[in-house]
Amino acid sequence: MFLGIDIGTSGVKAVVIDPMGVVVDQGTAALSVQRPHRLWSEQEPAAWWAATSAAVRAIDPAVRRSVRGVGLAGQMHGATLLDAADAPLRPAILWNDGRSAAQCAKLEQAVPALRTITGNIAMPGFTAPKLAWVRDNEPELFARIATVLLPKDYVRLMMTGDKASDLSDSAGTLWLDVARRDWSDVLLDACGLHRGQMPRLHEGSEPTGVLLREVADLWGMDQVPVAAGGGDNAAGAIGIGVVADGDALLSLGTSGVIFVATRAFRPNPDRAVHAFCHALPNLWHQMSVHLSAASCVDWVARLTGTASVAELFARAEATGPAKGAELFLPYLSGERTPHNDADVRGAFLNLDHDTDPGRLAQAVLEGVAFALADGLDALGDAGTRLSRLAVIGGGARSAYWGRILAAALGVELAYLEGGEVGPALGAARLAQLAVDGGEPAAVCVPPPVRQIIAADPLLAEQLAPKRAAFREAYPALSTRTA
């Protein structure tokens, strides 16, 4: 068996697969996010470790005893700052934290070649501007930083004692020369850092160490190898077989991501498209990233007092697509692709006396779909043309939302068996590659297709006026000046 662990934003998921890739057992544990100030988003690293152990120990002990390797996936970009004794110096600053916009501008001025080296715009979500913010605002703490780790790699440190990372996750720091797959000394120096404070770099399918004896005993396992793993999106892609040039997925988790595997480094930073290393050797990927996706559904369920997300979907379906005038801008945490705007915030428009929870829910489903369509347009500007997307993440449970998404995006959606398992499945497959070797295409096979949802031209026509209004609304929300 092989264990995959995904350190997400809202929780940790642990999944065990057999050698054929079938999920045998899984466990979860919840996490919470702290927002002490506007634009801030933080978590305590100790909470990741506690949730990881809880999720793993929720798996049947007999299954755990059969595990031969572990892989890690996790939320990207989080800045975990450790002192010389490897103790966290402050809460980790997360991927959806927006406090460092000023530092982004300074980094681009300091390193004019930044976009060429990294393939990306400097955005507050990345790790580098977070460290520049700490340097500018918490200088005494900054001076004590001995190591900077990403969230999953802090968990690795607790598991193995090793300071290591994979290239897909590290590409999201804004310190990596993405074409060369190595740290950039120029970009590290621009943040007042050096290689000695960075983890060792590995391909995602390489082992980085073995479980510490005390961890193995706690989890009821042998001291098995731990694979480098991947950032959540790359690991999610590995889990559903997106491992060849042109393979693509749509991830509907806390954030929404369109992910395309490429055999070459193909950046388009001017439209806020991300270009990163994949979690396998000699592969890269493009992404359009939307900071709020399925999290908008959870939010509107709480807002309307709806008992469950399933009930919310049922209310939206009873309302029907494109029926109400309500419009939702899903920028609850700002936005990346294509706007790169950490300050913009979400909004409902066109509310009236007939607006009810069902119409609000429908507007949210449409609004997220429109934002994803904006991202797909940005990928098109980078020369990427897609006709099909495999769907993963919690939002993959709703076929009704799939109809709206397919129509708005103009592509066919393939819903896969077990697609909601997400990055943890890919992490387990990377563990399998690290232990047994083999060709990635033979190990990372797509799960069976559960359902195909084609783009409905009539529904697309009905949604078109609302999509046009959606695109016109962003400039009115934005606080930017010309």
Instruction: Name residues whose C-beta falls within 8 Å of residue 353's C-beta, 6 or more positions apart in sequence.
Output: none
- Calculate the CA dihedral of residues 288, 291, 293, 297 and round it to 10 degrees: -170
165 and 299: one domain? Answer: no
Specify whether 323 is located in the same domain as 225: no
Are 194 and 305 found together in one domain? no
Residue from 351, 365, 127, 391 nearest 251 by CA:
391
Q: Please give the structure tokens belonging to residue 442.
A: 């033979």
> What residues pair up with 201 in beta bridges, in sequence order?
165
Do 208 and 315 reside in the same domain of the chain?
A: no
DSSP 182-231: EE-HHHHHHTT--GGGSPEEE-TTSEEEE--HHHHHHHT----EEE--EE
Residue 455 dihedral angles phi and psi, to the nearest 5°: -70, 125
Residue 171: which CATH number? 3.30.420.40
pTM for the structure as a whole: 0.86
**CA distance linking residue 408 with residue 366, whole number of Å:** 8
How many CB atoms within 10 Å of residue 66? 15
Distance (Å, whole) CA 347 – CA 16: 40
The full length of the chain comes to 482
| Same domain, residue pair 17 and 116 | yes
Is residue 411 situated within a structural domain? yes
Distance CA(405)–CA(371), nearest Å, equals 10
Question: Are residues 302 and 226 part of one domain?
Answer: no
Per residue in 326-355, pLDDT (tens digit) is 999 999 988 989 998 888 999 999 999 999
Structural domain contains residue 152? yes
Model pLDDT, residue 324: 86
- Residue 389 domain boundaries: 290-415+450-477
**Do 76 and 179 belong together in one domain?**
yes
> Could you give the number of structural domains in the chain?
2
Q: pLDDT at position 419, please?
A: 66
Amino acid 219 reads: W
**What number of CA atoms fall less than 13 Å from residue 218's CA on the CB side?**
14
Domain assignment of residue 129, yes or no: yes
Residue 391 lies in a domain: yes
Last residue of a domain, one of 208, 240, 272: 240
β-strand pairing of 2-7 with 69-74: parallel
Same domain, 169 and 228: yes
Query: Is 255 a domain residue?
Result: no
Question: Do residue 52 and residue 178 come from a single domain?
Answer: yes
Asked if 110 and 227 sit in the same domain, the reply is yes
What is the DSSP secondary structure assignment for residue 451, as one 8-state letter?
E
Distance CA(42)–CA(38), nearest Å, equals 12
Q: Supply the pLDDT for residue 384.
A: 86
Name the H helices within 127-194.
127-137, 139-142, 151-160, 167-170, 185-190
DSSP letter assigned to residue 142: H
The amino acid sitting at 240 is I
Judge whether 220 lies within some domain: yes
Q: Is the residue at 437 inside a domain?
A: no
Last residue within a domain, chosen from 218, 240, 262: 240
Token pair 């939307």: residue: 290
User: For residues 138 and 119, what is the distance between their CA atoms, to the nearest angstrom?
Assistant: 29
Residue positions annotated with a catalytic role: 232
- Asked if residue 333 lies in contact with residue 41, where contact means CB atoms within 8 angstroms, the answer is yes
> pLDDT in tens for each of the 482 residues of the chain?
999 999 999 999 999 999 988 999 999 999 999 999 999 999 999 999 999 999 999 999 999 999 999 999 999 999 999 999 999 999 999 998 999 999 999 999 999 999 999 999 998 999 999 999 999 999 999 999 999 999 999 999 999 999 999 999 999 999 999 999 999 999 999 999 999 999 999 999 999 999 999 999 999 999 999 999 999 989 999 998 999 999 999 988 888 999 999 998 988 888 888 999 999 999 999 999 898 999 999 999 999 999 999 999 999 999 999 888 999 999 998 898 999 888 899 999 999 999 999 999 999 999 999 999 999 999 988 788 899 999 987 788 899 999 999 999 999 999 987 666 779 999 999 999 999 998 888 899 888 898 999 999 999 999 999 999 999 999 999 877 44
Question: Does residue 316 sit in helix, strand or coil?
Answer: helix
**pLDDT for position 421:** 76
Residue 132's alpha-carbon distances to 99, 154, 300, 342, in angstroms, are: 11, 20, 34, 16
Are residue 333 and residue 204 in the same domain, yes or no?
no
DSSP SS3 for 431 = helix
Q: What is the SS3 string spanning 289-313? A: EECCCHHHHHHHHHHHCCCCHHHHH
Does residue 294 share a domain with residue 235?
no
Write down the pLDDT at residue 482.
42
Kindly list the distances between the CA atom of residue 173 and the CA atoms of 118, 197, 279, 344, in Å, as whole numbers in the listed order: 9, 13, 15, 23
- From start to end of 75-154, where are the E strands? 80-82, 92-93, 147-149
Please give the Cα distance from 313 to 307 (Å, whole number): 11
Q: Which residue has the tokens 């006709």?
A: 387
Q: Which of 240, 268, 299 lies at the terminal end of a domain, its last residue?
A: 240
In a domain, 116, yes or no: yes
